[in-house]
Structure 1
Amino acid sequence: MHASALLFAAALTSISLDPPAMKNPVGISIGAVRLRRQHAHSFQKILQDELKQRVRWRGVDKDDPEVLTLHLPAVAAASLDDEHPELTRFLRENKGEYLPGVRKKCPTLALKPPPSPPPSPPSKKAKKDDDGSSGGFRFVELFAGIGGFRLGLERPDVGGKCVLANEIDPHAASIYRENFADSDSCLAEGDVLDLSGDNLPKFDMLVGGFPCQPFSNRGEQKGLDDDRGQLYREMARILKEGQPKCFIFENVPGLVTMDGGSRTGRVKGERPRFTPGAVFERILKTMRSCGYNVDWQVLNSRKFLPQMRERVYIIGTRIDLGPGCEKFNWDSLILKDLKEEETATVRNIMEPKDSPAVIASELTPAQLAKVKSVHSKRGTILSEDGRIDPDCKAPTLISRYHTLSSFSTKFIFEEADGTPCRRPRYLTPRECTRLMGFPEDFIVPTHEDAKATNKYYHAIGNAVCPPLISVLGMELMNCIR
């Protein structure tokens, strides 16, 4: 077995310990406490009293019958990093020990080594990577979801190869495995906090869409006060530890304007202009502190797909590689002149009206009554405000699309051939998949499996659009070659 394969097999399977007593200036605080079993409950109680919130261990190692290793939530680790007086006193008096930087062992993060490629002589015209290998680039996909980044970057004309993907949601991970035959050798299912940077495989690009819920205009917008809002720091940690050549991150445009930012109003024929708020500026500063030139832009997938989907894309190139980002041609994305068939309307992606999936997606009378009630309470009319126009772009597909109580959910009233629907219906899983630009051979659940279908709607609404990622990836790699 190649040495690189052995290194990869060891990745993520062991506890990783950062230098003792050293705070992680980039990533989320992480650590564990070694404490005799009889003191564990008392320590949990004092944590809850001092932090004024419920505390659950991220995990408990029971290797020693007398002593437990208690993996701390981030807020508790941060308090001990800051030498919280009551917590440190308790540990001192009870002969406990705080272990900063310790990451939890997680069986689902243990990966099989990737198959070694057969040796082949490099082409004389092939470009060389830093390690002497020819062609292509390797990337790590964090918050992988169902693999939208991977689909975009592994297109033959882009040339990427996923060497590690991480996803915590078991349903999304299940969809990922079903659609990528080699996922056992690259998908690490588990918490990003438990990914050890020490043994990451060699990679050229880091990609991911860190959780958007804290920044979305459709939510409470707790921002950095939401634990999920801090997960960008784990992207920064992997950047700092892996030092790839470049990165692409994605999120909702609400991230840009949060806490003092703004955007201009919608004017036909003009792109909105964004002014970053304090939260976004802080995130950009963190990425730059890892040694990268950083740039960003809000792009709309309507240029690529039959869907209106604004997202902010943050790109970065390692400083030692030169200007990088300064050469990135955003105009190639903003002003791209696509053929008409490539910017199809909803009607072009609809399934036949007699498809079993279409029939199954029709609202029941009880569901229709509930949806009408939602609109009535808002003073809106379902047939007008809840309608998807088949001859236009679809509104943004969201993770809560298949939710009756969501006002954001829009319905099909007219089939592809112009036939009026008996009752309004949801977009089918396949139609949603097409709206996002996923390939036709991407596996979606059958209409008979209601639970899997609900989970799929959530996952596809959280995904990125592969066609847009493809163009971003090609342009970014051209900047650093």
Structure 2
Amino acid sequence: MESVKSKVFVTSASDENLINADLLADIVSVSKATLLKWEKSGKIKPLLSVNGKKKYNLNELNEFPEIRAMLESSWDVEEKIRPVRNYSSIELFAGAGGLAIGLEMAGFEAIALNEFDANACNTLRTNRVNWNVIESNIRTTDFKPFKGIDFVAGGFPCQAFSYAGKQLGFEDIRGTLFFEFARVVKETQPKVFLGENVKGLLQHDDGRTIATIKNVIAALGYTLIEPKVLKAIFYKVPQKRERLMLVGIRNDLVKYASFQWPAPYKKIMVLRDALKAGELYQNDVSESLGQKYPQRKEEILKLVPPGGYWRDLPDHLQREYMQGSYLLGGGKTGMARRLAWDAPSLTLTCSPAQKQTERCHPEEDRPLSVREYARIQTFPDDWVFSGSISSQYKQIGNAVPVNLALAIGRSLIALFNSIEAKIEVKDTHIKFTTSKQFSLFTEESEMLNRTVQNHAI
């Protein structure tokens, strides 16, 4: 077998074993100012400079655990993980399906997907006619018919937790959408669940919010793996997106369980990988609809270089563009931001043209198109989005990147396999040994779907 250590990631075909300062800063989660301090102290040493951009030799950076993990990654091994049996799942807050696609690719069978937004539901049904999409408000939906499902997953929206964490009890989060997630876990009693959210949840309310969530999970009879923030750039996603992952295992199964977070890929994907033919996609991105800038905004953005933002404009244009914000503190690096080919995209938002979160094409003077948005989130090219352009941007921007979902999905399949290897499959598990059984279950789910739609608020 070829040694994993012999595999190194490259920034381009001509820069084997080299990495630029921007990528190094992203990988080790520091600023470029910190890199300069490290250079002065001798901790790191630039190998060469190309067009004013410093390069570093990967093999001289293996003291950094993030880079060492990439050079010694077990990604190739994890790619071969397959489920030892069919694992049934429910997905909550399914959106446009980013998480669902990745989990499906890993080996989960979605028995039901719950989503409130009509356009997102149409997106799911259009692309997967066999998926049981329950279009309803989760607050009014009864999930008891799904008791015994193997797995529950969902990215509960990062709704305000302003009053959570005071008493560290189940009542503290009642009314938030995490409560609905917890209720579904209580009603269905899955072996394992996955919750995902923004990384800021860890620090919210001085840590009291996550403490409340942990307390609720314990009260439900589940053991929580210590939450971890996964950086999408490590998992074949050309985007600086970070998501907090919560994995819970039912207490009676913990003694059988073995879990490891996914290993990073051996290279960092950049915007060029998303929009041009290469490792991620066979063809260049196709043309698609997209938002446009007002004339004056387009004129200003023409002057922003690739990878630049408002501070790269002449001072008088900085003042014109930023207006009152010009005198305020903070970098505001998302404003008048043009992306660069050889760097991952900034985190996508619900709109690439809003003043606070511009995501301008690296060469053309326009916002990223819908299809470009989808590729940066690693959706398949044949995944079609329903609704208006604004709705499509929103669906894509709110999604979990497909490749990130696939990576965590493989780790979860390995977790289920470890449990399955040590216990007998009990009759209480939902099993579909015949197509008739699956049909009856689907008919019951469709009856539930019609009922909750009639009563949804």
Tell me the TM-score normalised to structure 2 length.
0.59
> What does 1:263-342 align with in structure 2 at a 5 Å threshold?
277-295=207-225, 296-303=227-234, 304-323=236-255, 327-330=258-261, 332-333=262-263, 336-338=264-266, 340=267
Is 1:347 the equivalent of 2:272?
A: yes
Contact 1:317 1:324 in 2 (8 A): no
Q: Distance in 2 between matches of 1:294 and 1:402?
A: 36
RMSD over aligned Cα atoms: 3.2
Aligned to 1:428: 369
Q: Distance in 2 between matches of 1:181 and 1:475?
A: 27
Choose the corresponding residue for 2:378, options 432, 437, 442.
437
- Evaluate the alpha carbon distance shift between residue 222 and residue 438 of structure 1 in structure 2; reply closer, same or farther with a 3 A threshold: farther
The structure with more strand, counted as a fraction of residues: 1
Q: Which amino acid aligns with 1:437?
A: T
- Evaluate the alpha carbon distance shift between residue 367 and residue 224 of structure 1 in structure 2; reply closer, same or farther with a 3 A threshold: farther
Contact 1:146 1:176 in 2 (8 A): yes
Q: Distance in 2 between matches of 1:384 and 1:210?
A: 28
Contact 2:107 2:413 in 1 (8 A): no
Choose the corresponding residue for 1:357, options 277, 288, 299.
288
Aligned to 1:33: none
- Evaluate the alpha carbon distance shift between residue 159 and residue 251 of structure 1 in structure 2; reply closer, same or farther with a 3 A threshold: same
Contact 2:147 2:189 in 1 (8 A): no
Choose the corresponding residue for 2:123, options 152, 175, 185.
175
Give the percent of matched residue pairs that are identical in Structure 1 and Structure 2.
Answer: 29
Aligned to 1:77: none
> What does 1:160-171 align with in structure 2 at a 5 Å threshold?
160-171=108-119
Q: Whose relative contact order is higher, 1 or 2, with alpha carbons under 8 Å and at least 6 apart?
A: 2
Structure 1, unmatched stretches of 5+, are 1-125, 129-134, 216-220, 261-276, 416-420, 446-450
Superposition deviation, residue 477 in structure 1: 3.1
Instruction: Give the total of aligned pairs.
Output: 302
Structure 2, unmatched stretches of 5+, are 1-81, 167-171, 277-282, 302-316, 421-457
Is 1:150 the equivalent of 2:93?
A: no
Which has the larger displacement, 375-384 or 277-286? 375-384
Aligned to 2:74: none
Counterpart of 2:354 in 1: which secondary structure?
coil
Aligned to 1:388: 339
- Evaluate the alpha carbon distance shift between residue 224 and residue 288 of structure 1 in structure 2; reply closer, same or farther with a 3 A threshold: closer
Q: Distance in 2 between matches of 1:211 and 1:370?
A: 35
Contact 2:353 2:367 in 1 (8 A): no
Superposition deviation, residue 160 in structure 1: 0.9
Superposition deviation, residue 324 in structure 1: 6.0
- Evaluate the alpha carbon distance shift between residue 478 and residue 306 of structure 1 in structure 2; reply closer, same or farther with a 3 A threshold: same
- Evaluate the alpha carbon distance shift between residue 344 and residue 298 of structure 1 in structure 2; reply closer, same or farther with a 3 A threshold: same
Contact 2:121 2:135 in 1 (8 A): yes
Aligned to 1:469: 405
Q: Distance in 2 between matches of 1:231 and 1:310?
A: 20
- Evaluate the alpha carbon distance shift between residue 190 and residue 404 of structure 1 in structure 2; reply closer, same or farther with a 3 A threshold: same
- Evaluate the alpha carbon distance shift between residue 166 and residue 477 of structure 1 in structure 2; reply closer, same or farther with a 3 A threshold: same
* Structure (1 or 2) with the larger CA radius of gyration: 1
> What does 1:78-89 align with in structure 2 at a 5 Å threshold?
none
Q: Distance in 2 between matches of 1:247 and 1:309?
A: 22
Contact 1:166 1:187 in 2 (8 A): yes
Superposition deviation, residue 466 in structure 1: 2.1
Q: Which amino acid aligns with 2:248?
A: G
Q: Distance in 2 between matches of 1:322 and 1:382?
A: 44
Aligned to 1:375: 322
Q: Distance in 2 between matches of 1:309 and 1:456?
A: 19
Choose the corresponding residue for 2:392, options 434, 444, 456.
456
Q: Distance in 2 between matches of 1:464 and 1:204?
A: 21
> What does 1:97-112 align with in structure 2 at a 5 Å threshold?
none
Q: Distance in 2 between matches of 1:231 and 1:383?
A: 29
Q: Distance in 1 between matches of 2:107 and 2:286?
A: 36
Is 1:245 the equivalent of 2:181?
A: no
Question: What whole-Å deviation, never above 9, does each CA across 1:341-377 have from its counterpart, x for those lacking one?
Answer: xx3211222269996437x555241553798755344
Question: What whole-Å deviation, never above 9, does each CA across 1:164-187 have from its counterpart, x for those lacking one?
Answer: 11101112112112111113xx11
- Evaluate the alpha carbon distance shift between residue 354 and residue 242 of structure 1 in structure 2; reply closer, same or farther with a 3 A threshold: closer
Question: What whole-Å deviation, never above 9, does each CA across 1:368-404 have from its counterpart, x for those lacking one?
Answer: 37987553442289998512122101111122x2443
Tell me the TM-score normalised to structure 1 length.
0.57
Superposition deviation, residue 204 in structure 1: 0.3
Q: Distance in 2 between matches of 1:389 and 1:469?
A: 25
Contact 2:198 2:244 in 1 (8 A): yes
Counterpart of 1:171 in 2: which secondary structure?
helix
Contact 1:210 1:250 in 2 (8 A): yes
Superposition deviation, residue 250 in structure 1: 0.5
Counterpart of 1:154 in 2: which secondary structure?
helix
Q: Which amino acid aligns with 1:468?
A: L
Q: Which amino acid aligns with 2:374?
A: T
Q: Which amino acid aligns with 1:138?
A: S
Contact 2:98 2:399 in 1 (8 A): yes
Contact 1:211 1:229 in 2 (8 A): no
- Evaluate the alpha carbon distance shift between residue 442 and residue 284 of structure 1 in structure 2; reply closer, same or farther with a 3 A threshold: same
Contact 2:238 2:376 in 1 (8 A): yes
> What does 1:66-145 align with in structure 2 at a 5 Å threshold?
135-145=85-95
Aligned to 1:39: none
- Evaluate the alpha carbon distance shift between residue 188 and residue 374 of structure 1 in structure 2; reply closer, same or farther with a 3 A threshold: farther
Q: Distance in 1 between matches of 2:181 and 2:369?
A: 33
